[in-house]
């Protein structure tokens, strides 16, 4: 491995992302002093022109001053906590940015501005930037690769030299922790983090501990990647395929309030391993087919092994089903109730809290057995 440098791994990663349809830019070129500047200063982590264009493209019904208000809301932080700020902005991703609009009769009403088109992946602007220099509070840092959707930084990829025995996965993880402390604005809209030493690659959430950075073992979600395919290639092509990545952002980046040993609480972000992401796709398809007018009303059964993060499937399956265009049209005559059972003593409360945000309503924990019911909001 002595002939392979970190730059080679970076070039390969950018090439794989390019194959997925991402635009590729050199960080120096789009910097304030570059040949094609997209940043007014090195403190700007949002690509303003791309974001403004996306807001206008996705929200043609909103007036120019309202779109400008949406842009300002994304620039302004409301809390010093990175985790809370990330949670707030992720809700904007999924639900839209709340705004006030003037109706035709002159009254004021509420509306929302979309930041991402989750139905049409090609309606979004996709960009991968290498060596993205950020200067914040006198700290000068340069993440290896930053991925942007509509000008918003949604992922940071940290790479290490596979030819350097001292450049380890732990070193890549620790580097991300330094970035979060010193250039935290880069992570306000972050969905996932990636670390790789050229040989192995792992994906994790904003607050994940080192052991919760997990491998991604499939390119398509159906079969394991063939032997010999680099782990980084499998992870990038598997998790960052545009359709799958939008599903991951919308349905699998979740927040939980965890209790410390000191009885205080902390907010954590979670992103899925492949063991929780892949099993949810089949139930969604089966749900749509089973609930058609000629459907048999039988969705099927999914078995989860212990430790496979089944709560993600519990959360995502009803949420993903109810958000599809097909089920939205079916809900005019459907009023489904989703029932989940578990033998775990903590399962009902954990799942109920997790599912609540995705479905925008409060689940009810049943008094019988260990189940809870989710009644969707009125159509």
pLDDT digits 0-9 by tens, 239-270? 999 999 998 898 888 776 655 454 444 444 55
Higher-scoring residue by pLDDT: 330, 295: 295
Average pLDDT over residues 354-375: 54
Of the chain, the percentage scoring pLDDT greater than 70 comes to 71
Total Cβ atoms within 10 A of residue 1: 12
Collapsing DSSP to helix, strand or coil, 348 comes out as helix
d(CA 313, CA 342): 13
Domain spans of the chain? 1-271, 283-374
pLDDT digits 0-9 by tens, 140-194? 999 999 999 999 999 999 999 877 777 889 999 999 999 999 999 999 999 999 9
Q: Are the CB atoms for 6 and 167 separated by under 8 Å?
A: yes
pLDDT of 119 reads: 92
In sequence order, what are the beta bridge partners of 220? none
Locate 347 and state its tokens: 């399962």
Collapsing DSSP to helix, strand or coil, 116 comes out as coil
């Amino acid at each position: 491995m002595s002939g392979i440098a970190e730059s080679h791994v970076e070039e390969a990663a950018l090439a794989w992302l390019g194959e997925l349809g991402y635009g590729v830019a050199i960080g120096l070129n789009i910097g304030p002093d570059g040949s094609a500047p997209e940043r007014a200063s090195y403190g700007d982590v949002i690509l303003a022109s791309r974001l403004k264009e996306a807001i206008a493209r996705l929200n043609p019904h909103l007036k120019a001053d309202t779109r400008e208000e949406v842009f300002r809301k994304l620039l302004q932080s409301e809390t010093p906590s990175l985790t809370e700020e990330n949670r707030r902005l992720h809700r904007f991703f999924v639900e839209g940015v709340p705004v006030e609009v003037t109706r035709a009769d002159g009254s004021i009403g509420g509306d929302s501005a979309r930041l991402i088109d989750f139905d049409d992946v090609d309606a979004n602007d996709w960009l991968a930037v290498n060596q993205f220099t950020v200067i914040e509070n006198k700290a000068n840092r340069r993440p290896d690769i930053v991925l942007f959707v509509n000008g918003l930084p949604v992922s940071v990829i940290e790479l290490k030299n596979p030819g350097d025995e001292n450049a380890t996965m732990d070193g890549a993880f620790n580097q991300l922790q330094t970035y979060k402390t010193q250039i935290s604005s880069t992570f306000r809209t972050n969905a996932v983090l990636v670390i790789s030493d050229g040989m192995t690659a792992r994906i994790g959430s904003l607050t994940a501990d080192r052991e919760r950075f997990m491998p991604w073992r499939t390119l398509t979600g159906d079969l394991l990647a063939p032997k010999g395919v680099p782990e980084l290639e499998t992870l990038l092509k598997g998790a960052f395929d545009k359709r799958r990545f939008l599903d991951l952002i919308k349905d699998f980046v979740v927040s939980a309030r965890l209790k410390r040993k000191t009885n205080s609480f902390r907010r954590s972000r979670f992103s899925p391993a492949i063991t929780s992401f892949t099993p949810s796709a089949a139930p969604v398809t089966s749900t749509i087919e089973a609930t058609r007018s000629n459907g048999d009303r039988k969705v099927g059964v999914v078995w989860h092994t212990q430790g496979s993060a089944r709560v993600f499937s519990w959360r995502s399956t009803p949420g993903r089903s109810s958000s599809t265009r097909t089920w939205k049209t079916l809900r005019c005559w459907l009023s489904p109730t989703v029932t989940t059972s578990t033998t775990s003593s903590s399962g009902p409360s954990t799942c109920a809290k997790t599912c609540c945000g995705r479905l925008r309503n409060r689940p009810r924990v049943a008094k019988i057995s260990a189940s809870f019911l989710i009644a969707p909001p009125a159509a």
